A and B are shown apart, each in its own frame.
Chain A
């Protein structure tokens, strides 16, 4: 409710400085195939430079910082949250952390998390 008052007095830049103190959780889709996991996270307003992906033990942290807006005028109406994005995932131990691959395109982060060779299901051929 306070934001209603602030809408009238803050420029986009000011609001973003204030909002940078907390995070919102991005929406994600996660699919698993035989070879890998694929994660898509929605982070509109974030580009490659604002992305921070860290892996500690088996805890994967995604942080997306929005590009600071250049508009100096107050908003007449606002809906998007100006907060940055953050979400933590616990990784399947089967994931080969060294081969994780990330890209971001039009505000959607795509992570490929390949499974290590040794845990992939393997077919054993039976010799006669």
Chain B
């Protein structure tokens, strides 16, 4: 669950192809992931911290949102390499008060790492990352060649 595959419309391929088989497999994987998410919000079953990630795309930007509450901005690392965005960091355990008794301990501590395969080329030098209310929002402007372009039709 550490990588992210783009969701595709079922039946995008008109003819049975290898692509469709892979698409089907992705679909199944995704169904599994989403039902595990609902049950255990993330891969809690594996007992690691996999923050939830959203991916959006409009005509100018690719936007990635990750839920990483309660960190300092210095504790979050974001990097971009070959069209793959990595978000990682670490939550230190809370300072323990001597003699404190723990009644519940549900929050994750430790490292997390998520990678997102970006759906299009981006300008790596103009990426902006904002951390607010525990949500990290990364805005990646698309490269010019990845933007939709209107082609004029000429007659002569």
Residue contact A7 to B99, C-beta cutoff 8 Å: no
- For this complex, 29 residue pairs linking A to B, each with C-beta atoms less than 8 Å apart, are A1-B35, A4-B7, A4-B31, A4-B34, A7-B7, A27-B107, A27-B108, A29-B105, A31-B101, A32-B101, A32-B102, A40-B94, A42-B70, A44-B135, A47-B133, A72-B58, A73-B63, A74-B56, A75-B54, A75-B56, A76-B7, A77-B4, A77-B6, A77-B53, A77-B55, A79-B37, A79-B42, A106-B71, A106-B133
Q: Closest residue of chain A to B53, judged by CB?
A: A79
Residue contact B134 to A71, C-beta cutoff 8 Å: no
Q: How far is the CB of B55 from chain A (nearest CB, A)?
A: 4
Residue contact A45 to B67, C-beta cutoff 8 Å: yes
Q: A residues engaging B (CB < 8 A)?
A: 1, 3-4, 7-8, 12, 24, 27-34, 37-38, 40, 42-47, 67, 71-81, 105-108
Residue contact B53 to A46, C-beta cutoff 8 Å: no
